[in-house]
Each structure stands twice: as C-alpha cells, then as structure tokens.
Amino acid sequence: MFSHLQPTPIDPILGLMAAYKEDPNPQKVDLGVGVYKDENGHTAVLKCVKEAEALRLKLEDSKTYIGMAGDLSFNSHIEKLAFGPAHQVLLAGRVVTAHTPGGTGALRVAAEFIKKANPDATVWVTNPTWANHVSLFQAAGLKVKEYSYYDWETKGLKFDAMMAELATVPAGDVVLVHACCHNPSGMDLNFAQWQQFAELAKEKGFTPLVDMAYQGFGLGLDEDTQGLRYLADLVPELLLCSSCSKNFGLYRERIGAVSVITADSKTADIARSVLLAVVRSIYSMPPAHGAILVSHILNSAELTALWHQELAEMRNRINNYRQLIIDKFKEQGIAQDFSFITRQHGMFSFLGINKEQIEQLRKDYSIYMVGSSRVSIAGLNHSNIDYFAKAMAEVLKG
Ligand code: PMP
C-alpha cells in the first residue's frame, strides 16, 4: 500500500534551512528560521536552564510516568505566568492546564478538544498566519477560514476589516489570535484594539483561542499578556496555547501547555476529563524534561531572576536591531521608509520587498528569508548587519 503514497511538499521554511546549510558562501546570512541567535549567531542554552538541568540530575529519583496532564507544578506556574497570580479565572478554579510537547502539541490538543466540543466548528485565523496553524486544525478535521489582519499597503493592521469580518462569526466557532509578536508580520493589536476584540467576542459568543508562543519577547512578560488577561476578564470561555520554546530557549525539548478556561469550575472538571482523554489518545503523556526545568527555574527566586535577565537580553537585542536596521539602511542611502520595523514586535518583521528582490538577495548575496519577505531579526549581528544593509541597498535600486 505504500506504493500509492504521493510525495508531500515540505514546509518552505525547512527547505530554506536546508538550502542555507548547503550554501558554501562564508558571508551567508540566515534570516529565515524563527530561532533566537546571539551576537555570535549561536542559539545558546540559557544559563538558568543549565542550572536547572544540574538540579534535575541531582534531585530526580524516578523515571516513572508523570500522568496525562504532565507536570502539575509546571502547569500551575504557566497559568500564573499567563494570567498573573491572582486573576479571577484562577481563583474561581476555571482553568484546566495540561503540559504538552511544545506549543505545536498544545495547538493539536486544542484542535482535538474543539472537535469534541463542536465537530462543526470553523477556526478563524489571521491573514497571514503561521503556516502550520492551518495544517494543524485541518488535520483534526476542522474547517479553517482567514480573517483580515495585516495590511501590506500601510504596513499596519486592517483592524476595521478584521472587526467587520469577525462580527459575522457565529457562537460555536473559534477565533485564533496571537497573544503578542504576531508570526509572521510582527504587528500586534494594541490594548484598545484588544478591548474591542474582547467586547466583540463577548457579544457574538465565539470562542477565542490565544496562541502565545513568544511571551516576554515583545514588550515584557506581563506586558505581553495584557490582551489575554483583559479577554479572560470578559469572556466566559477561552483556549490558550503556550510555548516555552522561545522564552526559555527550550526548542528541542518540546515544551508547551494547553489551557482551557471555562465558565465555571464544574465545567472545568468536565473539560479536564475531555482534555486528558484527547491527550491519552494521541501520545498518552508528555515528555517530562522541559517541564521539570521550567518548574525548577520558577520555583527558585534566584533562577527566576536569572531567567528574567536572560529573557530581557534576548528581547532587548532584537529591539535594538530593529532600530539599527533603519539606521544602517539610511547609512546606505536607502530612501524608502522602513520605520514600520520599530512598530513591530518579537522575532519577525515583514520587509515588504518583492519576490524578485528576495530571490536576488538569496542568489547574489546568500541572504535567506521566507518568500513573504519575513525576516527573523535575531539572525542579524554586528558581523553581518552592514553586509545585509549594503545588499538591500543594491537590490532596492533595481
Ligand atoms: N505558534 C506560533 C505562532 C509559532 O510561531 C510557533 C513556533 N514557530 C508555535 C506556535 C509552536 O512552537 P513550538 O516550537 O513550541 O511547537
């Protein structure tokens, strides 16, 4: 039967990574992959993680199963990071959390959970969105539709169009929003826009799903949750998918969490049983390592302080480069307005250049970015920023 299989195209970002690896040009620049890199172009293990690993090695006395919800201490920490320690949804026992294999695992569990709650649900995603969102929900048998979000003309948001389209979404459907650091555009809702979105969700009765893959990479750990917390104040039901890949640098350990927020604690108990049944039927139980590391860090005031510091370093480096790109472009005589780069948040920016220019950057300069002109800012450093700016100046001349 395997002979009937048809080849499946790989994710273009993975293809780009492979092409970059094979490129012999010593000046090559990787702006494709969404992974934080330091000034040396390296994705180092955070110091707080190294210390937590040493602690785990010392303290761990069993490798027995951890249960379908995963590490309970981790789950409790992740809820407090997201909502703050005293949010009403936590005090009222309205949140159920399971730790999952990465943010991707959280989204897939959320998708199966939605399917159980309403098999006919449509999941509405931003146009554009992280490409895997569409595949993940479709794989669970859910319909996916897009709503207007990014405006290529103004390099801002199509907020009015977004609100008009979402006003037609019925109760029983799910609307996915990015908590912060929108992937791929870098353009986030401001707080006033979050408030309007929350009012609309309450009025129309659709269920928001907040995807939070970059908490702490935008404005700060608490600042990045402002919209989420307001939403949770207003609407009775909500889904949250978190990831520790970026903010703890735990990419390959696959650690994230899915949280279901229900109208009351009785429904939360039922939701827990459904959530755990979903987990049981996909992978039974999540891997423990990443969750235990995060728990160790957040259980220790000292390691938490170190994590805050390391997270701020990553965030500040990216934000400094947003300004530096603009300065370097000016230095190279680029006349176009790129000031929008400093209005975006997180790892990514859309440069807004065309396919031919993206291709020329790759062919003539070995500078790799995604076909939409999305660049991962953390791929830039002091050794390649001038080269990048010069190449951009050449390419923009046409
Ligand atoms: N959501 C978004 C918007 C993302 O960008 C990513 C990572 N690229 C994820 C979820 C999944 O992250 P993880 O690596 O933890 O599965």
pLDDT digits (tens, 9 = 90+) for 292-347: 999 999 999 999 999 999 999 999 999 999 999 999 999 999 999 999 999 999 99
- In this prediction, residue 27 carries a pLDDT of 96
User: Is the Cβ atom of 224 under 6 angstroms away from ligand 1?
Assistant: no
User: Is the Cβ atom of 183 under 6 angstroms away from ligand 1?
Assistant: yes
CA atoms within 13 A on the CB side of 83: 28
Distance between CA atoms of residues 65 and 257, nearest Å: 18
Binning pLDDT at 50, 70 and 90, where does residue 16 land?
Answer: confident
Distance 104 CA to ligand 1 centre (A): 6
Residue 71 has pLDDT above 90, yes or no: yes
Residue partners of 74: CB distance under 8 A and separation at least 6: 99, 257, 291, 292, 294, 295
Q: Which residues pair with 100 in a beta bridge?
A: 256
Distance 398 CA to ligand 1 centre (A): 35
Same domain, 258 and 160: yes
Same domain, 295 and 308: no
Is residue 376 a contact partner of residue 186, using CB atoms and an 8 Å limit?
no
**Within a domain: residue 55?**
no
User: Is the Cβ atom of 218 under 6 angstroms away from ligand 1?
Assistant: no
Identify which of 230, 150, 209 has the alpha carbon closest to the alpha carbon of residue 183: 150
**Within a domain: residue 51?**
no
Catalytic residue at 71?
A: no
Same domain, 130 and 245: yes
Q: Which atom of ligand 1 is the closest one to the Cα of 105?
A: 16
17 or 357, higher pLDDT: 357
Same domain, 217 and 269: yes
Residue 17 has pLDDT above 90, yes or no: no
Domain stops at, among 299, 331, 352: 299
Same domain, 266 and 389: no
Tell me the CATH number at 326.
Answer: 3.90.1150.10
Same domain, 99 and 183: yes
DSSP letter assigned to residue 46: P
> From the candidates 30, 71, 173, 211, which is the catalytic residue?
211
Amino acid, single-letter form, for residue 138: Q
Distance 394 CA to ligand 1 centre (A): 33
**Within a domain: residue 2?**
no
User: Is the Cβ atom of 130 under 6 angstroms away from ligand 1?
Assistant: yes
Residue 10 has pLDDT above 80, yes or no: no
Distance between CA atoms of residues 118 and 361, nearest Å: 46
Same domain, 312 and 326: yes
Instruction: Tokens for 209, please give them.
Output: 């799903």
User: Is the Cβ atom of 128 under 6 angstroms away from ligand 1?
Assistant: no
Q: Give counts: helices (H), strands (E), the chain.
A: 14, 13
When pLDDT is averaged across residues 116-139 and rounded to a whole number, the result is: 97
Residue nearest to atom 6 of ligand 1 (CA): 213
> From the candidates 28, 124, 130, 155, which is the catalytic residue?
130
pLDDT digits (tens, 9 = 90+) for 180-215: 999 999 999 999 999 999 999 999 999 999 999 999
Query: Average per-residue pLDDT in the chain?
Result: 96
User: Is the Cβ atom of 290 under 6 angstroms away from ligand 1?
Assistant: no
Distance between CA atoms of residues 187 and 241, nearest Å: 19
| C-alpha dist (Å) from residue 79 to 13, 339, 383 | 31, 36, 40
Identify which of 121, 124, 214 has the alpha carbon closest to the alpha carbon of residue 165: 124
Tell me the CATH number at 277.
Answer: 3.40.640.10
Instruction: Tokens for 121, please give them.
Output: 């649900």
Domain stops at, among 282, 299, 316: 299
- Please choose from 33, 125, 245 the residue to mutate so as to test ligand 1's pocket, defined by most ligand atoms within 8 A of CB: 245
pLDDT digits (tens, 9 = 90+) for 47-56: 999 999 999 9
Q: What is the CA radius of gyration of the chain?
A: 21
Q: What is the number of other CB atoms lying within 10 angstroms of the CB of residue 133?
A: 23
Same domain, 284 and 366: no
Distance between CA atoms of residues 366 and 369, nearest Å: 10
When pLDDT is averaged across residues 235-242 and rounded to a whole number, the result is: 98
**Within a domain: residue 148?**
yes
Distance between CA atoms of residues 95 and 75, nearest Å: 10
Domain stops at, among 267, 299, 331: 299
* ipTM of the complex in this document: 0.99
Same domain, 315 and 208: no
Residue 60 backbone zone (phi > 0: left; psi -120 to 50: alpha; other: beta): beta
Same domain, 281 and 353: no
pLDDT digits (tens, 9 = 90+) for 336-385: 999 999 999 999 999 999 999 999 999 999 999 998 999 999 999 999 99
Strands 367-368 and 29-30 turn out to be parallel
**Within a domain: residue 367?**
yes
The structural domain count of the chain equals 2
Identify which of 395, 392, 368 has the alpha carbon closest to the alpha carbon of residue 27: 368
- In this prediction, residue 13 carries a pLDDT of 80
Helix (H, G, I), strand (E, B) or coil at 327: helix
**Within a domain: residue 124?**
yes
Same domain, 142 and 262: yes
Catalytic residue at 80?
A: no
Same domain, 374 and 338: yes
How many residues make up the chain in this entry?
398
Identify which of 57, 16, 35 has the alpha carbon closest to the alpha carbon of residue 378: 35
Distance between CA atoms of residues 65 and 284, nearest Å: 10
- Please choose from 129, 150, 224, 243 the residue to mutate so as to test ligand 1's pocket, defined by most ligand atoms within 8 A of CB: 243
**Within a domain: residue 40?**
yes
Strands 150-151 and 156-157 turn out to be antiparallel
Helix (H, G, I), strand (E, B) or coil at 241: strand
Residue nearest to atom 4 of ligand 1 (CA): 213
Distance between CA atoms of residues 258 and 99, nearest Å: 6
Binning pLDDT at 50, 70 and 90, where does residue 14 land?
Answer: confident
Catalytic residue at 130?
A: yes
- In this prediction, residue 177 carries a pLDDT of 98
Range of the structural domain that residue 34 is part of? 11-46+303-393
Binning pLDDT at 50, 70 and 90, where does residue 12 land?
Answer: confident
